[in-house]
Amino acid sequence: MQISLDQFLGAIMSRVDNLEATIDDLRLRTNIAMRLVKATVPELTKDAVEKAVREELEVTKNAGMMEESDEIEEISSKLTESIFGWLEGDVTELKEKMDAYRKRLQEAMEAEKSKVIDVAPAGFVNQLGQEKGQKKGKIVF
């Protein structure tokens, strides 16, 4: 089965768009669930968040989904600060990270615009392997 480069890229982009929509949906649902938890448990403290984060990191590490060398203490403190700040409504750090991400994405897109991808015609490889006069060429793959 042969497909063109445009068809292949179209299929890949369709998958990426689908994954992005799924991630956005999950993020929204998670955010709503966490807001409900915060509303129903007003005494939710930073210590409780940190305990939950540490437990989850331990499970993740024991399941082999984290490197043994990863420091749970360091990771849990960063995650706890981020999660608790988000629960309290402090979105300044999130805005800064999103702005930095958008800037890097824009720079990458501009860098890619300057690159040209040349695609050889279908019979080009066969033409390279043909003998021409005294010269005998070989294609090494």
pLDDT, tens digit, 9 for 90 and up, residues 85-95: 888 877 787 78
Q: Which pLDDT band holds residue 13 (cuts at 50, 70, 90)?
A: very high
Domain range enclosing 13: 1-42
Same domain? For 84 and 65 the reply is yes
The one-letter code for the residue type at 108 is A
Residue among 14, 75, 85, 103 at smallest CA distance from 46: 85
Which residue has better confidence, 115 or 7?
Answer: 7
Contact 53, 76 (CB under 8 A): yes
Is 36 in the same domain as 53? no
pTM higher than 0.95: no
Alpha-carbon distance of 132 to 130, in angstroms, equals: 6
Residue 22 placed within a domain: yes
Q: Are residues 7 and 58 in the same domain?
A: no
**99 three-class SS:** helix
Average pLDDT over residues 79-100: 84
Same domain, 38 and 11: yes
Q: Is 133 left (phi over 0), alpha (psi -120 to 50) or beta?
A: left
Distance of alpha carbon 1 from alpha carbon 45, whole angstroms: 58
pLDDT in tens, 14-62: 999 999 999 999 999 998 998 898 889 888 899 999 999 999 999 988 8
Are both 57 and 90 inside the same structural domain?
yes
